[in-house]
Amino acid sequence: MLEGMGRRTTGAVAGVLAGAVALGVAELAAAFVRPESAPVEAVGAGVVRLTPAAVKDFAIRTFGAYDKTALIVGILVLLVPIAALLGMLAARRRWIGMLGFAAFGLLGVVAAAVQPDAGPLDPVPSLVGAVVGLGTLGLLLRTPDPEITPEGYERRRFLALAGASVAAAALAGYGGRALQKARFAADRSRAAVRIPRAASPAPPVPAGADLRLPGLSPWRTGDADFYRVDTALTLPQVAAETWRLTVHGRVDHPVTLTYEELLKRPLIERDITLCCVSNPVGGPYIGNARWTGVRLADLLREAGVHPDADQIVSRSADGMTIGTPTAVVLDGRDAMLAVAMNGVPLPIKHGFPVRMLVPGLYGYVSACKWLVDLELTTFADYDAYWVPRGYSAQAPVKTESRIDTPRDGARRPAGRVAVAGVAWAQHKGISRVEVRVDDGPWRPARLAPVPTADTWRQWVYDWDATPGDHVLRVRATDSTGYTQTGAQADVAPNGATGWHSASVTVG
Ligand SMILES: Nc1nc2c(c(=O)[nH]1)N[C@H]1C(S)=C(S)[C@@H](COP(=O)(O)O)O[C@H]1N2
Ligand SMILES: [Mo]
């Protein structure tokens, strides 16, 4: 027994340290397999796969782009008391505590092995981490023979070993993460990419498409502000040099393309607004960018799509599956395999080297990032990732609008107030936006011009604001004559509806 430090405390400290060493060493080992094989990432990815869609929506709403960090931090925080308890158990009954530790190692091994895109080496980092962690625990808890040990030796030895464990865990952990980044980053590949000039340039953007009002989202969304939604805990690192796209299934001539071959095809450049089905009314998961890519319809016609193949299933390097109606891709719209965004090669988080885009469809049924495979099949034969999780197999974008300024809860002096925002109905186009103050009549807003029906449209309403509390509401009408419903619907199964509102105090 250590003087000044009870056996329980020693056990708890030893448990936490052994756990930290195990995870650190596993991160280091993962740098030699692949980042997704590290146990915390693998368990996290398993949690994401098993999480019901409703909980995922909640996480996206609550943590936004930080939902993955929140999950990883959550797992680590949960592990600390468990490791402490197992350490205390091990200090009493060595083998029982060790078995508990081994069980956690096994959890990592299994989680890594069952990933849909797992390689044969994926369980190795968890295994190596577990073995080294168990060794550390044994070393920390070993009691030297009291007969031959001088007083105070045991305490000094424990503290020295504990210090060494902290250092080893931090070094292996941080070093491992850094090495993972260095070894698997697609950054280098991306930096070498040159996108040829588009054969079909984007239709000119009319002057005044961006009203440039304070508080209003810019018409074109910069990369830093473009939302990101995906299930990837670690960004898939796909090098352009080794990228291959296979088009197969119900086609006459299956095709395999390299990145070089893709760039040799005529490129189109288009402004397209992309939005997420998980975007709540008034939410931020929408952005407008200039995309460059290859027309998907041409590629499909060359492959000879069978008339019965009503679904295109796109697959990503990380195992995501997305189902898109073949007829929509072939109906003449600018569906593309995109290679650039706002004039630069696709950022890694937006799908480098190649992603799909179909104007007018929500991202989960059209916009597969890190695309590697296109299978022509049928809706009857195959359910893509989100379908068994409670989302519709087909999901055109709903006509919606958002007030950007003034924000909900804002204060303004009485007089002229510019109420402004964006409205979208991709591939149909927005033909009218109206604003209502309190229970007053709907009044038309002024619409900014747009190059095509595939982008969102800015609007502004000059409000003569009178003192008091007011509620502003907005609704849009698309080119088919459909006016956005005020009925509130949840994001599941196929997109939220309702009027966005902002409460404003004037005076
Ligand atoms: N590989 C992959 N592609 C994906 C997803 C994903 O989880 N994995 N999410 C889709 C969803 S739900 C949306 S809304 C868009 C978001 O694209 P962005 O992150 O570039 O904005 O990507 C789509 N493509
Ligand atoms: Mo989405």
- Cα of 34 vs centre of ligand 1, distance in Å, is 22
Q: Which of 69-83, 275-289, 313-327 has the lowest mean pLDDT?
A: 69-83
pLDDT in tens, 147-175: 666 677 788 889 999 999 999 999 999 99
Q: Which of 31-45, 130-144, 179-193, 276-290 has the lowest mean pLDDT?
A: 179-193
Q: Is the pLDDT of residue 420 over 50?
A: yes
Q: What is the pTM of this model?
A: 0.81
Task: Band the pLDDT of 146: cuts 50, 70, 90.
Answer: low
**Spatial contact of 234 and 43, defined as CB atoms under 8 Å apart:** no
- Cα of 368 vs centre of ligand 1, distance in Å, is 6
Q: What is the mean pLDDT of residues 111-115?
A: 93
Please name the residue whose Cα sits nearest to atom 12 of ligand 1. Answer: 364
Q: In the chain, pLDDT over 90 holds for what percent of residues? A: 81
The pLDDT assigned to 101 comes to: 92
Q: Which ligand is nearest to the CA of 386?
A: 1
pLDDT in tens, 366-403: 999 999 999 999 999 999 999 999 999 999 999 999 99
Closest by alpha carbon to 262, among 354, 346, 187?
Answer: 354
**Residue 370 Cβ contacting ligand 1 at under 6 Å:** yes
The pLDDT assigned to 189 comes to: 92
**Spatial contact of 27 and 107, defined as CB atoms under 8 Å apart:** no
**How far apart, in whole angstroms, are the C-alpha atoms of residue 205 and residue 277?**
27
pLDDT in tens, 89-112: 999 999 999 999 999 999 999 999
- Cα of 67 vs centre of ligand 2, distance in Å, is 14
Q: Which of 75-84, 204-213, 305-314 has the lowest mean pLDDT?
A: 75-84
Please name the residue whose Cα sits nearest to atom 10 of ligand 1. Answer: 364
In b/e form, how buried is each residue of 43-62, taking b as 16+ CB within 10 angstroms?
bbbbbbeeeebeebbebbee
Q: Give the helix/strand (H/E) hosting 323.
A: strand 321-325
Task: Band the pLDDT of 84: cuts 50, 70, 90.
Answer: very high
Q: Is the pLDDT of residue 332 over 90?
A: yes
Q: What is the mean pLDDT of residues 71-82?
A: 90
All structural domains of the chain? 7-184 (no CATH), 223-377 (3.90.420.10), 400-506 (2.60.40.650)
**Spatial contact of 266 and 197, defined as CB atoms under 8 Å apart:** no
Q: Is the pLDDT of residue 429 over 80?
A: yes
The pLDDT assigned to 70 comes to: 84
The pLDDT assigned to 5 comes to: 65
Q: What is the mean pLDDT of residues 434-460?
A: 98
Please name the residue whose Cα sits nearest to atom 8 of ligand 1. Answer: 230
**Residue 283 Cβ contacting ligand 1 at under 6 Å:** no
pLDDT in tens, 218-259: 999 998 899 999 999 888 999 999 999 999 999 999 999 999
The pLDDT assigned to 243 comes to: 96
> Mean pLDDT score of the chain, rounded to an integer?
94
**How far apart, in whole angstroms, are the C-alpha atoms of residue 281 and residue 403?**
10
- Cα of 409 vs centre of ligand 1, distance in Å, is 31
**Nearest atom of ligand 1 to the alpha carbon of 317:** 1
- Cα of 365 vs centre of ligand 1, distance in Å, is 9
Q: What is the mean pLDDT of residues 57-66?
A: 74
Please name the residue whose Cα sits nearest to atom 6 of ligand 1. Answer: 230
Token representation of residue 458: 């800015």
The pLDDT assigned to 148 comes to: 66
Task: Report CA-CA distances (Å) from 285 to 128, 222, 229, 370, 468.
Answer: 40, 14, 8, 19, 32
**Residue 8 Cβ contacting ligand 1 at under 6 Å:** no
The pLDDT assigned to 152 comes to: 76
**Residue 501 Cβ contacting ligand 1 at under 6 Å:** no
Q: Is the pLDDT of residue 1 over 50?
A: no
The pLDDT assigned to 65 comes to: 63
Query: Is 163 buried (19+), middle (13-18) or exposed (0-12) by CB count in 10 A?
Result: exposed
DSSP code string of 160-224: HHHHHHHHHHHHHHHHHHHHHHHHH-SHHHHHH--PPPPSBPPPPPPTTSS---TTSPPSSPPGG
**How far apart, in whole angstroms, are the C-alpha atoms of residue 90 and residue 100?**
9
**Residue 350 Cβ contacting ligand 1 at under 6 Å:** yes
pLDDT in tens, 10-46: 999 999 999 999 999 999 999 999 988 999 999 988 8
Q: Which ligand is nearest to the CA of 284?
A: 1
Q: How many CB atoms lie within 10 A of CB 281?
A: 18
Q: What is the mean pLDDT of residues 300-306?
A: 98
**Nearest atom of ligand 1 to the alpha carbon of 386:** 12
